[in-house]
Amino acid sequence: MKSLSKLIFTALLTGLLTLSMRVEGANSDKTVEFSGFARLVGGYLNADEGAFNSYTDSFTLKEESLLGLRADWTVSDAFHIVGQAVVRANDEKGSDIQWLYADYRPSNNLSFKLGRQRIPIFQFSEVIDVGFAYPWITLPLEIYNPFIFSEYDGLLASYEFSQRKFSGSFDAYYGVYDDEIVFGRRKVDAKVDDLMGVVGQVYYKQFNFRASHHRGRTKVFIDELAQFQNVLRALGFEDSAATLDVNNEVRYFQFSAGWENLDYFVKVELSRFDSAAYFAPTTNSFYVTAGYNFYPFTVHATIAQSDTDYGDAPNEIPVGFDPQLDFLAQQYALALQSNPLSDMQTFTLGLRYDIRSNLALKADITLIQGQEQPDDDSINTRPFTLEENAELLQLAVEWVF
């Protein structure tokens, strides 16, 4: 564990587990259930150069293939211990323990979870790695960007309700994040203090709605940027140095709606990521997907887009007077180009074949709209580096057990 907060949460979780073992020591009904999921994903990007979500013009099986295992220990009717670990084929994306929490349910409607959990930001947050649970092979990156934090250590309270015509839930959580995030095509240390959010879901007949609001104070540690900031400040360019600061408060808003019956489904998800930091810009994203089920097949089509606004950077470094200042201005421009988010526009067509109730085959083709890229690709850390339109072809085997 990297922080005192994580040690506190781990100690609390261990204490709860120890206490439950003592209280329920004579109970022979305690059981441990294991379940899991696996996905084998192959992809090829039809483009002469560039990358999209780490896919290039060479067929690969490693980018999104993985194996996950979950353990659910029923200590009592009201108390559970849940853990989930994922092993990924791509070493750079890392293997980790995603869930390790205690679940206490004092009533049928109310529950509390303490420990490591998924941050409930998106519609599919809890099943991001379980490809069997959604129609696509890859969730729309316009919203499900790997730059967004995934897990946290903390407490979540959930209240579920059910009426004659509708049902739903309200969630609220508080915690911290102290780990790594994917910054473009590399991992960097990151920390989020005072991470909190609220989530509301409502189900009415064949409709479902979800809205959430999240916020936290981020600290991202990138040595190169920190060193360059010190150089700028030493020379008196405070505004330029502040532009490269990646530590600030961030806010995230999400809304989704869906309609489905046995034959058709329509889903919409929108989000807004907002921060005063240049490297965590205002980003508005959405996708709309529709599909038709004719068992054992499903066809679907998705339009997705994200618009990113980095704002205006200060222009306080004079150019044309001194070679050293010219070099400094050039390096500053290159540093700005290393930002991790970019506009995206994609259109996806997909086919799913459910071989069995727990095994599915998928085939997707994603049409990607290219965009102008920085002149120096060596400092471009964005996951989207295509200047021309391209097609991403993917095949997948999805399994739950």
Cβ neighbours, 10 Å, residue 213: 16
> Can the peptide bond before residue 296 be classed as cis, meaning omega within 30 degrees of 0?
yes
Whether the per-residue pLDDT at 192 is higher than 90: the answer is: no
Question: Percent helix, strand, coil in the chain (nearest 5)?
Answer: 15, 50, 35
Structural domain contains residue 152:
yes
Element (H, E) at 264: strand 264-275
Q: What is the pLDDT of residues 341-363, one digit of tens each?
A: 667 899 999 999 999 999 999 99
Predicted pLDDT of residue 1: 44
Report helix angle 223-234 to 323-336, nearest 10.
140
Q: What is the pLDDT of residue 30?
A: 63
Q: pLDDT by residue (tens digit) across 260-273?
A: 999 999 999 999 98
The DSSP call for residue 313 is P
How far apart (Å, rounded) are the C-alpha atoms in residues 243 and 238?
9
Range of the domain at 326: 39-65+119-400
String of b and e for 52-71 (b: at least 16 CB within 10 Å)? bbbbbeeebebbbbbbbebb
pTM of the model: 0.82
Q: Which long-range contacts (CB under 8 A, 24 or more apart) does 282-288 make?
A: 282/308, 282/309, 282/311, 283/307, 283/308, 283/309, 283/341, 285/142, 285/143, 286/142, 286/143, 287/140, 287/142, 287/143
Q: Which range is most confident: 365-369, 378-382, 388-392?
A: 365-369
Summary mean pLDDT of the chain: 83
* Overall number of domains in the chain: 1
- pLDDT at residue 278 above 50? yes
Q: Say how many residues make up the chain.
A: 401
Residue 165 CA to residue 163 CA, distance in Å, equals: 6
User: Region 182-196: what's the mean pLDDT?
Assistant: 75
For residues 61 and 15, give the distance between their C-alpha atoms in angstroms, rounded to a whole number: 42
Q: How confident is the model at residue 203 (pLDDT cuts 50, 70, 90)?
A: very high
Residue 138 pLDDT class (50, 70, 90 cuts):
very high
Opening angle at CA 179, ends 87 and 71, nearest 5? 40
Which pLDDT band, with edges at 50, 70 and 90, does 239 fall under? confident
Tell me if 126 is assigned to some domain.
Answer: yes
Q: Specify the pLDDT at position 236.
A: 76
Q: Closest Cα to residue 178, out of 8, 383, 382?
A: 8
What would the pLDDT profile of 31-63 be if each residue is shown by its tens digit?
Answer: 889 999 999 999 999 988 778 888 989 999 999
Q: Could you tell me the pLDDT band of residue 305, with boundaries at 50, 70 and 90?
A: very high
pLDDT score, position 45: 94
Among 156-160, 165-169, 366-370, which stretch is predicted with the lowest mean pLDDT?
366-370
Q: Give the per-residue pLDDT at 251.
A: 92
Contact 350, 366 (CB under 8 A): no
In a domain, 26, yes or no: no
Does some domain include residue 155? yes
Give the per-residue pLDDT at 311. Answer: 66
Residue 165 lies in a domain: yes
Is residue 15, in this structure, part of any structural domain at all?
A: no
Per-residue pLDDT at 313 exceeds 60? yes
Judge whether residue 333 has pLDDT over 60. yes
Determine, yes or no, domain membership for 356: yes
Would you place residue 380 in the very low, low, confident or very high pLDDT band (cuts 50, 70, 90)? very low
The CATH number linked to 307 is 2.40.160
Whether pLDDT at 68 is above 50 = yes
Strands (E) across 166-223 are located at 166-183, 186-204, 207-221
- Three-state SS for 354? strand
87 in any annotated domain: no
User: What pLDDT is stored for residue 383 in this prediction?
Assistant: 52
- Amino acid identity of residue 350, one-letter, is G
